Structure 1
Amino acid sequence: MHVLASTPLSPEYWLGLFGAFAAIGVLAIIFAETGLLFGCILPGDSLLFTAGILTAVSELNGVEFQQISLPVLLIGGPIAAIVGAQLGHWLGAKYGRKLFDRPDSKIFRKEWVEKAEYYFNRFGPEKAVVIARFVPIVRTFLNPLAGMLGMDAKRFFVWNAIGAVIWCDSLFLLGHYLGASVPNIDRYILPGVAVILVLSVIPIVREVMKGRSETKGLGQ
Structure 2
Amino acid sequence: MDLQETIRTFIIHYGMISVFVLVLLEYASVPLPSEVVLPFIGIIGALHGISFFKILIISLIAGLLGSIITYAIGYIFGMRVLTFVGNKFPRTRKAIEASYKWIEKYDKGATFISRLVPLARTFISLIAGVVKMKPVPFIAYSTIGIVIWNSILIGLGFFLGNNTALINTILHRYTLVVGGFAILVIIVLVLKNRKKLIELFK
Q: Shorter-chain-normalised TM-score: which range?
A: 0.7 to 0.9
Look up the match of 2:171.
193
Large movers: runs of 4+ above 4 Å: 66-69, 211-216
Match of 2:153 among 167, 171, 176: 171
Q: CA deviation at 1:107?
A: 8.8
Cα offsets for 1:118-159 (capped at 9, x unmatched): 43146x111211222222342221112111112111221111
RMSD: 2.9
Look up the match of 1:117.
100
- The answer to whether the Cα contact below 8 Å between 2:27 and 2:122 also exists between their aligned partners in 1 is yes
Look up the match of 1:15.
7
Is residue 28 of structure 2 the alignment partner of residue 42 of structure 1?
Answer: no
Look up the match of 2:57.
75
Q: CA deviation at 1:77?
A: 0.5
The whole-number CA distance in structure 2 between the counterparts of 1:18 and 1:107 is 32
The whole-number CA distance in structure 2 between the counterparts of 1:200 and 1:23 is 30
The whole-number CA distance in structure 1 between the counterparts of 2:19 and 2:28 is 14
The whole-number CA distance in structure 1 between the counterparts of 2:91 and 2:17 is 26
Question: Residues 94 and 138 (structure 1 numbering): CA distance in 2 closer, same or farther, change over 3 Å?
Answer: same
- Unaligned regions of 5+ residues in structure 2, if any? none
Letter in 2 for 1:117: Y
SS in 2 for 1:101: helix
Relative to its length, the structure with more helix (as a share) is: 2
Which deviates more, 22-31 or 91-100?
A: 22-31
Letter in 2 for 1:116: S
Q: Tell me the matched-pair count.
A: 194
> Normalised by the size of structure 2, how large is the TM-score?
0.79
Is residue 132 of structure 2 the alignment partner of residue 139 of structure 1?
Answer: no
Look up the match of 1:54.
44
The whole-number CA distance in structure 1 between the counterparts of 2:175 and 2:49 is 25
The whole-number CA distance in structure 2 between the counterparts of 1:17 and 1:118 is 41
Look up the match of 1:208.
186
